[in-house]
Amino acid sequence: MGNPLWAPWRMEYILSPKGGTCIFCGIASSSPEELAARLVVCVTDHAFVVLNRYPFAAGHLLVVPHEHVDGLEKLSAEAYTATFELVRASVTRLRAAVRPEGLNVGLNLGASAGAGIAEHLHVHIVPRWSGDTNFMPVLADTRVIPQALEKTRDYLAPFFADLPGVRLPALPHGGAP
C-alpha cells in the first residue's frame, strides 16, 4: 500500500467539538499571542486576515469582517467598504509574498453554496500556480501544503504591516520571520 501521507493537523478538527461560539468572533479583542495561535495575519478596525486552517493551497487566506453576519447585504456600509478594501490589500500583499500565477477570490454564501462557516461571512483568497492541482486530490483526497501554517503566518504578517491601523499578531522572538 505504499507510504502513508500524514496530516496530523486534521485530527484536531476531527476531534474538536462542533458548534458553540463563532470561531471568527472576538478577534478584535484578542492579545497578540492569541492572534498568532489563531493564525491571524493582521487585524484592522473592521476586519481581519487569517490563514485558513484547512487550506486548499499554501497561503489560503480568509478576510473576515468583525460584524457577525451571514450575508453581504447585512454588513454595515462601513464594514463592507473596509472588508473589501482589505480583500484588495490582501491580494496585493499575497502576490508580493508568494508570487502566485493566479488567485481565486470569492465567497460561499450559505451552507448549500459550500460555506463551512455559513453564519459569519468571510472572503477566500487562494493563491494558485500551474500544476498545483496534482494527482494527490484525485487519488487520495489529500492536498499537499509545503509549509506549516504557523510558519506561513509568520512569513505573511510583515507584508501587512504597512496597512493603516493594522495590528499584527505576535511573531517569534518579537521580530520578523
d(CA 77, CA 83): 10
CATH for 142: 3.30.428.10
pLDDT given at position 144: 60
Residue 13 CA to residue 23 CA, distance in Å, equals 12
State CA 82 to chain mean position distance: 17
In a domain? residue 172: no
Residue 120 lies in domain: 24-164
Residue 46 designated active-site: no
Model pLDDT, residue 60: 92
Q: Is the pLDDT of residue 5 over 60?
A: no
The total number of structural domains in the chain stands at: 1
pLDDT (tens digit per residue) in 61-87: 999 999 999 999 999 999 999 999 999
pLDDT in tens, 102-151: 999 999 988 888 888 889 999 999 998 886 664 444 444 555 666 778 88
Q: How far is residue 20 from each of residues 3, 25, 48, measured CA to CA in Å?
A: 37, 11, 21
Q: Identify whether 177 is part of a domain.
A: no
Catalytic residue, candidates 60, 122, 124, 173: 122
Q: Confirm whether 4 is domain-assigned.
A: no
Q: Write down the pLDDT at residue 58.
A: 83
